[in-house]
Structure formats: C-alpha cells, structure tokens
Amino acid sequence: QAKYRKDYQTPDYTIDEVDLDIRLQDHQTLVSSRLTVRRQGEHNEPLRLDGEALKLINIELDGEVLSEHRFQVVNNQLQIDDVPEAFELLIITQLDPANNSALEGLYKSGGAFCTQCEAEGFRRITYYLDRPDVLAVFTTRLQADKDKYPYLLANGNKTDSGELENGQHWVSWHDPHPKPCYLFAVVAGDFDLLEDSYRTKHGRDVALQLFVDKGNLGRAEFAMRSLKAAMKWDEVRFNLVYDLDIYMIVAVDFFNMGAMENKGLNVFNAKYVLADAKTATDQDFLNVESVIGHEYFHNWTGNRITCRDWFQLSLKEGLTVFRDQEFSGDMSMRPVHRIQDVRIMRTHQFHEDSSPMAHPIRPDKVIEMNNFYTVTVYNKGAEVIRMLHSLLDEQGFQKGMQLYVERHDGQAVTCEDFVCAMEDANSTELRQFRRWYEQAGTPVLSITESYDASAERYTLHCRQHTAATPGQKKKQAFHIPLRVHFYSDSGELLKLTSDELKNDILQLTEEQQDFVFEKVKEKPVPGLLAGFSAPVKLDYEYQEKQLLTLLAYSQDPFICWDAAQQVYLQAMKKAIAAGSPVQLSQASLDALKHKLENQQSDPALVSLLLQIPSEESLSGEYDVIPVADIHRVCGELKQLLASELEKELKETYSSCHPQGAYQFAPTDIAQRMLANTCLAFLANLKNPEITALLERQFSKADNMTDELAAMQAAVHANHTSADNMLREFAAKWQSNSLVMDKWLATQASAARSSTLDSVKQLTSHGAFSWQNPNRIYSLVATFTHNLAQLHREDGEGYRWLREVIVRLNSSNPQVASRLVTALLQWRRFDEKRQTLLKQELKTLQELPDLASDLYEKVEQSLQQD
C-alpha cells in the first residue's frame, strides 16, 4: 500500500483532453468521460486507470464497445491491454453522491452538489490517470433539474447552455488551461450570488462571483473585498496576474478542510467566507482574509505551476502559505500575524515533529495522501520558504520567483526545481539548505556565550542537534539563518560587528560553530532568533534580568513576546519541579504592569505577551508530560496574574475598549484584543464588580468578538455566570450553525471535571451533527486539545474518543484520522496512561474495515513498541 518518493516514474500514458458529461442525480449520477489518450515512450504496458467506489456502465475504445475480456478491474484500477499509440476512450460510470459521507469526490452538501478532488478524489468520479503530472484540457457539460439547481458551475469559462424537457437544463464549460484532475470541480445548486469585477494590470476584466446559501449575501461582502485585495497584492508584490475572465467562489456547509483552489472555481468551507460583525469574531474576519488569499495565490503557485507527484505537496502549500502570511502581514498588524504563526509552529508543528507521524516537509513514504495535509507540509514548509526569503532578501527572493515562473509555467514540477530557480536567479548555492526538505524533526539550537572584558571580545557558541525521528536515525547539520539583535543592559540597540553577521543574520552550517565579535565594550544581552528566523527550538539560559530587558526594549515584536513567554515558562517549570505554587518575581510583575500602563503604543502586542502559554505548549517542554502538574500551574499562573495585576487590568480594560459601533479596523481590533485579554484574567477574580463587567459586556456587545470573549472568559474561569451565558447564547444563536460551533467549542475547552460528560451530552444536541465536519471539529477536536480532560486518569476520555473514531471510520475517515492524532503520542505519558492509550489504539487496529487513513497512523504509532 505504501508509496515511496524514490519510486517516481513518468506515466506510461497521458491524457490531452477530457470531455465530461455529468447528469446529476442524488443516487444515480451518470458520468460520461471522453478521453484523448496518448502513449508516452516505447513500451507495451497496458493502460491502467485509477477508480474507486465506481459503478462501471460502459467502455468504448475509438468508438467500439470493449467486451469484457479486453479489460479488467483489479485493486481499484481499470486495466486495458493492447491499446493503440493514440486513441479515444469513452467511459461511463454511475455515482451515488447523496450517500457520499466521506466528502471526497462528488457529494451533496446541504441541497447542493459539489466536488473535492485533491488529493485523489477524482478517481471517485471516473476512471482516470489520477496523478498531478497528467495535464489535460477539460470541457464539462452539466445537466440537472433546473428548479433545484439553477446554477451549474465548472472550471473555466461558460460556453453554452440550454433548456430540456422535464424541467432539466444544461450548461457547458471550457477551461483552456491544461490542469491535473485534482483541480477539477463542479458545483450545482441554488444560491445567492454576490457579483463584482476586477480589472487586472494587463487590462483584463474579471467577473468575480461569490455563491452563498440563500439569505447570506450580507455576510459575503468581506470575502469579496478580501478577494480583490488579494488579486491586487499578487500583482504588486509578486507580479502575478490572473488569467481567466471569471473567478468563482462557492461557500458550502459540508467540507473536510478549509477550502480548495480548483481552477477558476474555488470551493470553500462556509466558515472561511461568511463574516459579519454580529456573527463573526475579529479572528474569523482575519481567517477569511487569509484563506481567500491562500486559494487565490494558488492560481500561480499550485495551478499554473503544479506538483509532479504528491510527495512535492509542500512545493505549492509551503510556498502558498508563505504568500498568504505575507499578504496578511502587508494588510494589517504584521507582528500579530507573525506571533500567531509562531504559536502554530511551536505548539502544533513541533508536536508533530515529536510524534510517530513525524515527516520531512517533503515526505519519503505515504500510505494515505490525505494524511499529509499537515502543519509540517504547510506551516513548516512556509517557514522553509521564509528562511530562503531571509537568506536572499526580498529582492533576491522575487528574482527567484520570476525565474521559477518563467521556467515552469504550465508544468508539474518538484521542490528541487524551486530551489534550483532560487539558486540560479541569485547565482548562489543552497546545497546544504536542501536538508530542510529531506530531514524531519525540530533542530535544537543550544547557545552559550563568553565575554572577555579585557579583550573586548564577545563570543556566541552555537551547537545544533536534531533528535532521531521514525526512519531517520542520524541527522546532518541544517543551514540555519539565526537573526540576532544585541542590547545593552539599559536597553540600547548595540551595533556589534563580525564578518559573519550580515543583515543581522548569522548563518549556522556546522554542528558546532563559534561567532566572535570584537570591540565589544560591554557584555550585551542577545536577542536570539529574532522574528523566529528558523523553525528551531532555542536552548539558551536566559537570566530573568536579560528577559526583562528584552521585554522592555526589544524592537523585534517576536523577541519581546517571547521574552514574556520565557518568563512564564521558567516560572511554571520551576513550580512543577519543586512541587510548589507558581511564583513570579516582583521585577517581572512590575515589567508586566509597565506594559499595561503603556499599552497605547501597541495594545495588540501587549495582549499577546500577557497571554500565558497553553497547556499544550507547556507539554512540549517535557518528554513525559506531567498532565496534572501542567493543569495546576497554568491555573495558578492565571490566578496569580489576575490578583497581582488587578488594578492595571481593570484600568486597561476600561480605557482601551473601542468607542462607538463595531469596526473591523486594526486599531479597534488591537484594542478589543487587549480589553478581552484583561477580562479573561479578571474573570478569575470572583467578585461582584467583575461579575458586573462580564455580564455587561456579554449582554451589551454589538459584535461577536466581545460577546464570545465574555462568555469564554466566564466559562474558562469557571465563573458563576457561565451557565447562564451559555444558555442565553444558545437561545439567541440556535439557528446559526457557525455561531453555534463557537458555543460547542467553548464548552469542549472548559477546564471542568464534568467536561467529558457535557461533551458527550452535546453530541445529541440539535446544534451538533455527526455528518458535518465543522460540528465535529468544534466539539470533538477542541476536546482533544483539552489536555487535562482528554487525559483523565480513568481513561474515559480516551475510551470515548476511540468510540467516536470507530464511528467516523466508516462515515468520514479523513475526519477520523484528524482526531486520532491525539492518541498517537502514548510514549509521552506515564505508564498508566500509556497502557490505556495503547489499548484504544489496539482496538482500532483490529477493526475489520479500518480505513487507510487510520491504518497508517495507528500502525506507525504502535510500531517499535
């Protein structure tokens, strides 16, 4: 079942044209596919087409019906022997989209038909060469009931349409750009349509169409604005211009992932399209902007230039995430976005690196491709691109991009091709840098220093080490750009010089390396890894005094934020080691007070640096995770900050709430962030004054950001108002499922011993459904991140999660596979929990019909036991 990157071979045949005729019906959709096939190279291999869960109705080769003995279907492949050099193949298959609960291939979402083909879903629509290096020109004719499905959409431009008897109608589409089948899409349904247009810098007028469920037009406007901003931004910053006369986005309720970049016809999870002040938080708006950008940017990095094979996924995803991150940063609040991206890396990606499923950004071995749409391929992939950007700087990076596009437009290429373009455009070599594509795991960068006052010499001693990951025992040194700033004790930025320091960057290439700085008059405070310049763990023993200097004076927002995080981490780790309550020094508390009192300059950053590390990220500091201790110290630290900073938190809360009606504007967002962070701390102080604050904000808020923040603050602090708020919220929002997702998630993340019971009960609430991934992620996936409640000592959390996974194994394996992640890391827990976890994994392993998605992860986890 496993496939290996090293086994890549060019396809024996290719397809130049595809002509699809799809008659849409709930249970008996007919797909006629006319393929223009051509042999590649000299060989007598049979033609083998991929196909899964298909009912084959008919095959004709060059107009002649193929009799049974001319073909066979084995192992999800249709094999035809003795085919000519070039020929036309007609294949008719029948599908049951209404019963397709896996949401892969053609399925029904609400009342609409839609498709999800990446990575290997097209083979569930028709027999095909389902691999990304087969590029064909697609023509699609759709036919369906006109009343139920007034809109019939496919890739490219609309070419014709017509009416038929018995209420049916048809539309045909042609996409002039050759593409792999994973970018194919169709949608049929009844929608509200938001229309606009965009004129490219080449003077092309592009019709922009956004399709949403009826009644949601007002909630689509922000997405449309974001789309236009993304089109403009890609022209200005990357010189990349749109290439069709129409760009369509459809928002659907049932979707396994965020969104999909199908050529000219993006399909989106509704939660990344619909947003208005009443129902969406500031963060929801920012997510819409970023996902709209992401899918749009794929038009060049993904569609025009695509992947040769799926091992190269990061070629398009890492690069496109980098691009969407830059887009968000250029649009607003760059430091906030950067810190949020770093948080994802440190909590989720580092966690994945230490798990049985650890893999390089370009994996070597895959059983189920759907398992590799990971934080490693996406987010670490983006960090790798970001390091290239740091090493080459914006100008050099853009030169590389232009060469990449010139060379490879219209091709299916590899990560290697991308790196070569970067090298050639900059006349440089990145031989060692390629190890970031080859080796899995998080490098640990250990740094010590020495200072010789009489010689005025300061030295940084750097050592890098990367622990073994499954299948990769010995790691070689990475090429690491280490961005550093230096400060004096009183906080002035120092200019240290060294031949090896360029643009604040030291390049580490050895396992051990010293960097010497001469003429250094005082021992500096080093701000290491500024901007999180590489996806590594930094191991440097910061003294509290140094951290407070960086917290107060660092001009790099990441360093400033991280200094606060290190203060918290040190205090919590110390309390765990000593088995004593968490304490913070007066100096640290004063430093935080000072930040609160001077928040005006950057309220968003102050908000972020007050927020303590999550239980999950504290877990990352331990080989064996002390569940109860972690839960204890996180609670204590919140309580401590709340009582020690009460006065400043209250003052800040009342001074920094934006005046007037809600606006989605950076200054307002930043103020809401800080006010709500203060409120979350204050909720831990159970006094009447604060109860009044909480309840007032909850009932008076004119926007979801503040309304939800009040409810979350109450629930997370176990406040007496919590249950009432939950009740009122549900009564108010019961008809809006995306808002109810927030209600589910808030309860699943509660730190109560009753949380598991509530979560179980909520599965029979009207707001929940086992069919809809958004509901499952909100309730179940959120619960899996609730460290203390999932990892209950009695194993009930594990048992319930396993039952959920068993259920989803048959209905939606992709979702099941995302949830199982929480069980894989049994090695990181005490013996009792190890036994319990392994027991659940073994139960899963023995399921008679275990989906490949789960099989791959469970096997990998139980191996080497």
Please list, residue by residue across 74-112, b when 16 or more beta carbons sit within 10 angstroms of its beta carbon and e when fewer do. Answer: eeebbebeebeeebebbbbbebbbeebbbbbbbbbbeeb
Q: Which is nearer to Zn ion, 120 or 317 (CB)?
A: 317
Between 294 and 485, name the residue whose CB sits nearer to Zn ion. 294
Q: Which is nearer to Zn ion, 320 or 546 (CB)?
A: 320
What 3-state DSSP class applies to 74? strand
Check binding of 373 to ligand ARG (CB under 6 A).
yes
Interaction between residue 317 and ligand ARG (CB under 6 A) = yes
Amino acid letter at 638? K
Judged by beta carbon distances under 5 to 8 A according to partner kind, the member of ligand ARG, Zn ion, none in contact with residue 257 is: ligand ARG
In angstroms, the CA 305 to CA 316 distance is 8
Query: What does the alpha-carbon distance between residue 163 and residue 417 come to, in Å, rounded to a whole number?
Result: 48
Q: Which of residues 748-767 bind Zn ion (CB under 5 A)?
A: none
Q: Which lies closer to ligand ARG via its Cβ, residue 105 or residue 797?
A: 105
| Nearest residue (CB) to Zn ion, 117 versus 548 | 117
Burial of 70 (0-12, 13-18, 19+ CB in 10 A): middle
Tell the smallest beta-carbon distance from residue 173 to Zn ion (Å): 23
Residue 648 is a binding residue for ligand ARG (CB under 6 A): no
CB of 317 to Zn ion, least distance (A): 5
- Candidates 259-267, 281-289, 508-516, 708-716 — which segment interacts with ligand ARG by CB under 6 A? 259-267
Residue 853: name its binding partner from Zn ion, ligand ARG, none (Cβ under 5 to 8 Å by kind).
none
- Residue 368 binds what, of Zn ion, ligand ARG, none (CB under 5 to 8 Å, by partner type)? none
Closer of 312 and 611 to ligand ARG (Cβ): 312
Structure tokens at 342: 């770093």
Q: Does 820 bind ligand ARG (CB under 6 A)?
A: no
**Between the CA atoms of 89, 92, 93 and 97, what dihedral angle is there, to the nearest 10 degrees?**
110
Site string for ligand ARG, 208-247 (x = CB under 6 A): ----------------------------------------
Closer CB to ligand ARG, 175 or 317, in the complex = 317
Locus of tokens 């901003």: 229
Ramachandran bin of 531, using left for φ above 0, alpha for ψ from -120 to 50, beta for the remaining angles? left
Residues 100, 533: Cα–Cα separation, whole Å: 44
Does 118 help bind ligand ARG (rule: CB under 6 A)?
A: yes
Phi, psi of 486 (to 5 degrees): -125, 140
Which residues, 6 or more positions from 482, have their beta carbon under 8 angstroms from its beta carbon? 445, 462, 505, 506, 507, 508, 528, 529, 533, 534
Those residues whose C-beta lies under 8 Å from the C-beta of residue 350, and which sit 6 or more positions away, are 442, 537, 620
**Least distance (Å) between residue 817 CB and ligand ARG:** 10
Residues in the chain: 865
Member of 259, 292, 630, 642 binding ligand ARG (CB under 6 A): 259
* CB 818, min distance to ligand ARG, A: 9
Size of the site for Zn ion (CB under 5 A): 2
Q: Is there a contact between 855 and 809 (Cβ–Cβ < 8 Å)?
A: no
Q: Which stretch binds ligand ARG (CB under 6 A): 127-135, 251-259, 393-401, 693-701?
A: 251-259
Q: Which two tokens stand for residue 716?
A: 């997370």
Site map (CB under 6 A) of ligand ARG, residues 64-103, x = contact? ----------------------------------------
Instruction: Find the shortest distance in angstroms from Cβ 385 to Zn ion.
Output: 13
267 binds ligand ARG (CB under 6 A): no
Can you tell me which of 261, 341, 352, 556 binds ligand ARG, judged by CB under 6 A?
A: 261
Query: With the C-alpha atoms ordered 420, 422, 424, 425, is the resulting torsion angle positive or negative?
Result: positive
Residue nearest to ligand ARG as judged by C-beta position:
373
Contact predicate 682/646, CB 8 Å: yes
The strand ranges marked E within 333-479 are 365-366, 412-413, 443-452, 457-466
Longest dimension (CA), the chain: 96
Under the binding rule (CB under 6 A), the answer on residue 140 touching ligand ARG is no
CA distance 372 to 118: 12
Closest listed residue to residue 677, CA positions, set 647, 633, 709, 643:
709
CA-wise closest residue to 820 among 366, 441, 355, 469:
355
Identity of the residue, 155 or 320, whose beta carbon is nearer to Zn ion in the bound complex: 320
Nearer of residues 675 and 820 to ligand ARG, judged by Cβ: 820
Choose, from 104, 118, 120, 295, the residue flagged as catalytic.
295
Active site residue 326: no
By CB under 6 A, tell whether 295 contacts ligand ARG: yes
Residues in 304-363 that interact with Zn ion by CB under 5 A: 317, 320
Token pair belonging to 88: 């036309």
Which entry of Zn ion, ligand ARG, none binds 128, CB below 5 to 8 A by partner kind? none
CA 567 → CA 292, 446, 550, 611, distances in Å? 37, 18, 11, 12
- Using the rule CB under 6 A, give the single segment among 254-262, 424-432, 462-470, 787-795 that binds ligand ARG: 254-262
> Which tokens sit at 555?
């001009």
The DSSP-derived string for 274-301 is ---TTT--HHHHHHHHHHHHHHHHTTTB
Beta carbon of residue 295, minimum distance to Zn ion (angstroms, whole number): 7
* Tokens linked to 454: 């009489």
Question: Which residues, numbered 691-750, are part of the site for Zn ion (CB under 5 A)?
Answer: none
Query: How near is the Cβ of 371 to Zn ion at its closest, in Å?
Result: 16
- Pick what 122 binds: ligand ARG, Zn ion, none; C-beta below 5 to 8 Å, kind-dependent: none
The span from the CA of 535 to the CA of 554, in Å, is 20
Residue 260's binding partner, choosing from Zn ion, ligand ARG, none, with beta-carbon cut-off 5 to 8 A by kind?
Answer: ligand ARG
Residue 333 binding target from Zn ion, ligand ARG, none, CB below 5 to 8 Å by type: none
Which of 370, 697, 749, 809 binds ligand ARG (CB under 6 A)? It is 370
Write the interaction track for ligand ARG spanning residues 319-358; mark x where CB under 6 A is met and - where it is not. ----------------------------------------
- Rounded CA separation 629/180 (Å): 51
Q: Which does 119 bind (CB under 5 to 8 A by kind): ligand ARG, Zn ion, none?
A: ligand ARG
Segment interacting with ligand ARG (CB under 6 A) among 73-81, 258-266, 482-490, 797-805: 258-266
Answer for the pair 41, 13: CB distance below 8 angstroms, yes or no. no
Residue 119 sits in the site that holds ligand ARG (CB under 6 A): yes
**Own/partner pairs, 840-843, CB within 8 angstroms, 24+ separation:** 840/798, 840/799, 840/801, 840/802, 843/802, 843/806
Contacts of 118 (CB under 8 A, 6+ apart): 182, 183, 260
The burial class, CB within 10 Å (0-12 / 13-18 / 19+), for 317 is buried
Rank residues 310 and 532 by Cβ distance to ligand ARG and give the closer one.
Answer: 310
Nearer to ligand ARG by Cβ, of 92 and 257: the residue is: 257
Q: Is 257 in the site for ligand ARG (CB under 6 A)?
A: yes
Residues at the site binding ligand ARG, with contacts judged by CB under 6 A = 118-119, 257-261, 294-295, 317, 370, 373
Catalytic residue numbers read 295
Q: Please give the residue ranges that form the binding site for Zn ion (CB under 5 A).
A: 317, 320
